[in-house]
Amino acid sequence: MMMRRPVRLKPDATYVCVSAFAKVLVFAAVASGFSRITAAQQNELDPRIVKLVSSISEERLGAVLKKLESFETRNTLSSTDPTTRGVGAARQWILDEMKRFSPKLQASFDTYQVTPQGRITRPVELRNVMAILPGRSPRRVYISGHYDTVARPGGQGATNASGPADPDAPAARPADPNAPLDNLAPGVNDDGSGTALTIELARVFSQSGIDFDATLVFMCHAGEEQGLVGARLHAQKAVAEKIPIEAVFNNDIVGNDKGGNGIIDGATIRVYSEGPEDSPSRSLARFIQRWGARYVPSHRVRPMSRADRFGRGGDHSAYNQLGFAAVGFRESRENFTRQHDVRDTFEGISLPYLAQNARVNAASAATLALAPPPPGVVNDRGQPMISRAPSGYDANLRWNPSSGAVAYRIFWREAWGLDWQHDLLVGNVTSAVLPNMQIDDFVLGVAAVDAAGHESFVSAYVAPARATVPIR
Ligand SMILES: [Zn+2]
């Protein structure tokens, strides 16, 4: 007869870190389909994404930047006739380049006729250059930069030093508004860097052989320097045509690691994200931080809980303003004297730094595009599906199933704070109860996870704004 020994629990991370109510859920998850969520539980890296990330080439990024510099200016108002100089030649080259990568990649101009307004001084044809890599579903993940450039006397350095004056005020404009603006404006960092990153990711994604769930869009915006014009027009079209844009990764000034003050930082990247705390944009920023750290641990993502830097703007805001989740990647240390200046040349670029930023974009965009869509946590009356039932003191969460999900991961954090503090994988269920967790003290959210462990971004339970009724 065998002797039965008492079972001892090893003091592993699960039991040390997770409280009693969570253990209940762990067992619930095991009961509802352990074998299918093993990969997800283990948080394994996807070898296909590892390969995709490692195929990003500094040499290719450098070649694209030198080509973009060779057009001398890509100003929205520059001449379009020459075949080797100006915005017309540049956009044609970007289109032809992206057409070469793969028969799966659909490259085209996204064209608009713009009448004079704001900084657009004459009628102009504006062309975003976009390349679509169709996925299994129509939901879209964008990687973007802007290919247009600008240079003014003194550049951004003089603008910063002189205070809030508008450098594009009418007095600063040429006497003849119809004359092309053909002055030298190389724009290798602003935003050749974001453009080269976008083109390089179009190459590696379209040649990866990976069958993505989301449709990926590689977008080189036009007219950014005139007020995000190309991005605003495309975002307006997306609203009108009900194009389901799930996320926009915008890269603008991401290629220089040496600040104008001499401080060097080649190991971090800022990601600007508009609020409030649990806006779609913040969810996207947290997602990039989480998955960037997994696949590119040598490069730290620094989310910024603000729309952008003081007095500066970028194309992500054009999407934010129409309700889409969008963030802006910005190098950590800027050299303002090169920006919007003839000195924005290839010499100001660090290719290893730009490549690291490209890898963070690639890892997080690939994970998002392979994952199921984020689960809906709001009912058809616009209310978050969270309650204190059944005891009146519990966290009771419900969500809509996400196609392709085999598990869900619940996240929570104390209600004073920005980063998720805890997470817990549950099975293929659409509700969970966390006993004795006071929903008023924590922010809670849920992400969808597929069989290979790809995770959507987190849908958070947010109280809707209350309507104010004036007291009579
Ligand atoms: Zn820019």
Which pLDDT does position 44 carry in this prediction? Answer: 80
Distance 234 CA to ligand 1 centre (A): 17
Distance 103 CA to ligand 1 centre (A): 30
Q: Model's pTM, two decimal places?
A: 0.90
d(CA 67, CA 141): 27
Q: Who's near 371: CB < 8 A, 6+ residues apart?
A: 213, 404, 448, 449, 450, 454, 455, 456
Which pLDDT does position 192 carry in this prediction? Answer: 98
Output the tens digit of pLDDT for each of the chain's 472 residues: 343 443 332 323 332 334 444 444 544 444 444 445 555 555 689 999 999 999 999 999 999 999 999 999 999 999 999 999 999 999 999 999 999 999 999 999 999 999 999 999 999 999 999 999 999 999 999 999 999 999 998 888 787 877 545 555 544 556 687 889 999 999 999 999 999 999 999 999 999 999 999 999 999 999 999 999 999 999 999 999 999 999 999 999 999 999 999 999 999 999 999 999 999 999 999 999 999 999 999 999 999 999 999 999 999 999 999 999 999 999 999 999 999 999 999 999 999 999 999 999 999 999 999 999 999 999 999 999 999 999 999 999 999 999 999 999 999 999 999 999 999 999 999 999 999 999 999 999 999 999 999 999 999 999 888 888 899 9
Query: Quick check: helix, strand or coil at residue 84?
Result: coil
Distance 341 CA to ligand 1 centre (A): 12
Distance 115 CA to ligand 1 centre (A): 22
Distance 225 CA to ligand 1 centre (A): 7
Distance 468 CA to ligand 1 centre (A): 40
Distance 155 CA to ligand 1 centre (A): 13
What angle separates helix 280-295 from helix 47-54, to the nearest 10 degrees?
90
Distance 179 CA to ligand 1 centre (A): 23
d(CA 109, CA 87): 13
Distance 340 CA to ligand 1 centre (A): 9
d(CA 423, CA 445): 9
- What would the DSSP string read from start to end of 27-40? HHHHHTTTGGGHHH
d(CA 357, CA 435): 41
Residue 168 burial by Cβ neighbours in a 10 Å radius (0-12, 13-18, 19+): middle
Distance 52 CA to ligand 1 centre (A): 27
Distance 146 CA to ligand 1 centre (A): 7
Which pLDDT does position 39 carry in this prediction? Answer: 55
- What would the DSSP string read from start to end of 183-209? S-B--TTTTHHHHHHHHHHHHHHHTS-
Distance 224 CA to ligand 1 centre (A): 7
Distance 141 CA to ligand 1 centre (A): 21
Distance 445 CA to ligand 1 centre (A): 34
Which pLDDT does position 465 carry in this prediction? Answer: 83
Distance 30 CA to ligand 1 centre (A): 49
Distance 149 CA to ligand 1 centre (A): 7
Which pLDDT does position 159 carry in this prediction? Answer: 78
Distance 123 CA to ligand 1 centre (A): 22
Distance 77 CA to ligand 1 centre (A): 16
